[in-house]
């Protein structure tokens, strides 16, 4: 996620809840409309995050999706 990890935690969280263009990175309560989930679940390695040939393990993706579904609390 371009630069988010280099921010302080409050700024990073605000950016996470913000938009990339018009697309929300994290839409609280709605994993399937959240850009980060689209990036994590993509089958296109050129689009998928994190970068590289191997998707994030399913358990970790599920944790992130559950966190978003439950409201993405800080």
Q: What are phi and psi of 45, to 5 degrees?
A: -60, -25
Nearest CB to ligand HEM, comparing residues 18 and 29? 18
12 binds ligand HEM (CB under 6 A): no
Sole binder of ligand HEM in the list 8, 22, 43, 51 (CB under 6 A) = 51
45 binds ligand HEM (CB under 6 A): no
Cα-Cα end-to-end distance for the chain: 18
27 binds ligand HEM (CB under 6 A): no
């Amino acid at each position: 996620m371009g630069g988010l990890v280099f921010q302080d935690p409050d700024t990073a969280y605000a950016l996470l809840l913000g938009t990339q263009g018009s697309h929300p990175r994290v839409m609280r309560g709605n994993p399937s409309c959240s850009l980060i989930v689209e990036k994590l679940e993509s089958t296109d390695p050129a689009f998928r995050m994190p970068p590289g040939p191997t998707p994030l393990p399913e358990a970790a993706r599920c944790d992130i999706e559950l966190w978003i579904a439950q409201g993405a609390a800080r």
